[in-house]
Amino acid sequence: MWKLPRIFSKPATPLWRQGDVFIIALPNPPTGTRVDRRPVLAEGEATGHAHRLQDPGSAQVFSVGAGLYLQVLANSATVLHEEHKPVTLPRGNYEVRIQREYSPQAIRRVVD
């Protein structure tokens, strides 16, 4: 009988997307020197709109090294953006990544 390779037997990591922002669940918060930031996950370069927390007290946005992270302290936290549907995240730890695009000149952030 044929079996799926082991790589496919692991459960998928929860992932949310809001435009050019990816929010990836982490089992534990990152270690290292933590720098607290404003309750904004990403600024919109083209429109001035921001991916931001609806209730800044529900979660903390921070960086460790070059990485950006979100720790939801309340039962849930909602991320808002004027051009996208709200994303509600359960209590937990998350990594925030900004989508990038390739061009022959450079790899750059997607402008939202």
Q: Is residue 6 part of a domain?
A: no
Q: Is residue 1 part of a domain?
A: no
Mean per-residue pLDDT, 68-92:
95
Whole-number percent of the chain with pLDDT over 90: 60
Tally of domains within the chain: 1
β 59-64/34-36 pair status: antiparallel
The answer, as to whether pTM is greater than 0.85, is: no
Give pLDDT, residue 94.
97
- Would you call 105 helix, strand, or coil by DSSP? coil
Residue 26 structural domain = 12-109
Contact partners, residue 62, CB within 8 Å, separation at least 6:
34, 35, 36, 37, 68, 69, 70, 71
Encoding tokens for residue 86? 């709200």
Q: Is residue 2 part of a domain?
A: no
Q: What is the pLDDT of residues 44-62, one digit of tens each?
A: 766 678 999 999 999 999 9
Pick 99 or 11 by higher pLDDT.
Answer: 99
Q: Is residue 88 part of a domain?
A: yes
Q: Is residue 25 part of a domain?
A: yes
Q: Is residue 7 part of a domain?
A: no
Give pLDDT, residue 20.
87
Q: Is residue 42 part of a domain?
A: yes
Q: Is residue 4 part of a domain?
A: no
